[in-house]
Chains A and B, each alone.
Chain A
Amino acid sequence: MAERPLSPHLSIWKWGPAMLVSILHRVTGDGMALVGLPVLLWWLGALASGPEAYDQFTTIATSWYGYVVLAGISWAFFNHLCSGVRHFVLDIGAGYEVDRNNRWSVVTIAGGIVLTAAFWAAIVLL
């Protein structure tokens, strides 16, 4: 494997909203890939196998730690959705001005939390 040069500025940085959005985008994306997809396959596989297997799934999914995982997956999805839409906006070359970029970064993070809360409220209330 070739020795490619690395960025010389890895140690020079300062916290900012865009940085947090970027980190959360990666954490939620890889988190969903590594945790969310296995849960999805477990759910589908149990659904295909029959009532007993589905019962096993729902028993664990509706335990307190099951809800913690499901809440985490749903937040990861809505957060990743918001920061993903932000990526689409940045892709067309918009939103790079510092103030605007910071503002929409905060909106992205807040949007993920609000959508997650709205989703669970709708599940419980509707």
Chain B
Amino acid sequence: MGQGTALGRVRALGSAHEGTHHWLLQRFTAAGNLLTVLFLAVSFVALPDLSYATVRAWLGHPLPALALALMIVSVFWHARLGLQVMIEDYVHGASRFAAILLLNLAAFAGAAFGLLSLVRIVAGATAETAAAAAAAAQVQQALQGMMGGGMPQ
């Protein structure tokens, strides 16, 4: 420690001027979590079962898919802010910088993986719907051919 009074030793260090922004984002994302995670919890209760087919079909609808996409963004953002506070409280020196760096990588990677999984699920559901529509059209064509008197090939 240098010389001077306790106040004099810390005065020039100043604040990072990021506190209010962090505080507000923590609360905005908390509100997002409240809505979206409760949506997921209520859905778990409301769905007839949690089998592969049921959950895939459920996520094939736009509203659940949107809610889960928003949930992933909100939850990972909130977790990043919260873990940052824990790191700042318990980790000091150069390892704090490393921990914050790892936290940012992990938070973005986790959110990206979640969103990509969601895209794969929604795209799969869309492909299944398209395939079903194509099959239905084929059946309809075949039926029309039969009605027209010709033998189906």
Binding site for B on A (CB under 8 A): 1-5, 26, 29-30, 32-34, 37-38, 40-41, 44-45, 47-49, 51, 54-55, 58, 74, 77, 81, 84-85, 87-88, 91, 119, 122-123, 126
The distance from the CB of B116 to the nearest CB of chain A, in whole angstroms, is: 8
Report how far A15 CA is from B34 CA in the complex, Å.
29
Using Cβ atoms and an 8 Å threshold, which residues of chain B touch A26? 86
Closest to B97 in A: A1
Main secondary structure of the interface of A (DSSP, over half): helix
Using Cβ atoms and an 8 Å threshold, which residues of chain A touch B46? 126
Q: Is the CB of A37 within 8 A of B76?
A: yes
Name the interface size band of chain B: 35 or more
Within 8 A of A (CB), among B24-66: 27, 30, 34, 37-38, 41, 44-46, 50, 52, 55-56, 59
Given A3-B1, A4-B13, A81-B34, A44:B83 Cβ within 8 A: no
Q: Is B151 an interface residue (CB 8 A)?
A: no
Report how far A51 CA is from B52 CA in the complex, Å.
6
Closest to B34 in A: A81
Q: Is the CB of B9 within 8 A of A5?
A: yes
Q: Is the CB of A41 within 8 A of B117?
A: yes
